[in-house]
Structure formats: C-alpha cells, structure tokens
Amino acid sequence: MDIKSYKQKKTRGLSVRQVIESALDDLEQLDSIVIVAKYDNNNIATGYSGDNNAELAGLCEFVKSELIELIADE
C-alpha cells in the first residue's frame, strides 16, 4: 500500500484504491456503475455505464441519501 492510500485508509476507513479494487473484484457481477472523482487539484470528473439513464440518476440519489444518513448519525 502506498503512503497516500495508507493515509486515506487511516483517516477515512477506506482508501480510494480499496474502493476501486473492491469494485473490480465484483466486476463480472456489476450491471451499472456511476463514478464521481475529485482530483488533488479539485477538478471533478464523472463516469457512468448503464442502459437506463433514469436508473443511473436513481443510483446517484441513493448515494446522496446514504451520505445524508451518515451525516445525521455523526
């Protein structure tokens, strides 16, 4: 594990690398995916793959509600 990943894991619980590796482990079972990435320079990029744009938007809303619950529990 590189130093950046180690620091992320220590402060966040999971590193970016761990999240991506976890998704890759399930690659054959994935049907759709949405990715939002923030770079070190604060640029934001998105990527997505799926047959149904409404479903992809729903996935984003699901993540949003999950994060709101986490914030409320803090």
Give tens-digit pLDDT for 28-72: 999 999 999 999 999 999 999 999 999 999 999 999 999 999 899
Q: Is residue 55 part of a domain?
A: yes
What's the pLDDT score for residue 4? 74
Confidence of residue 1 (pLDDT cuts 50, 70, 90): low
Q: Is residue 21 part of a domain?
A: no
Q: Whole-angstrom Cα distance, residue 15 to residue 1?
A: 10
Which range marks the domain in which residue 38 is found? 31-73
Residue 12 has pLDDT above 80, yes or no: no
The CB-side HSE value for 42 (13 A sphere, CA atoms) comes to 0
Q: Whole-angstrom Cα distance, residue 14 to residue 8?
A: 6
Domain count, the chain: 1
User: In angstroms, what CA-CA distances link 69 with 13, 20, 33, 61, 72?
Assistant: 17, 23, 22, 12, 5
Q: Is residue 9 part of a domain?
A: no
Residue 11 has pLDDT above 90, yes or no: no
What's the pLDDT score for residue 7? 72
Sequence-distant (≥ 6) Cβ neighbours of residue 14 within 8 angstroms: 8
Residue type, 9: K
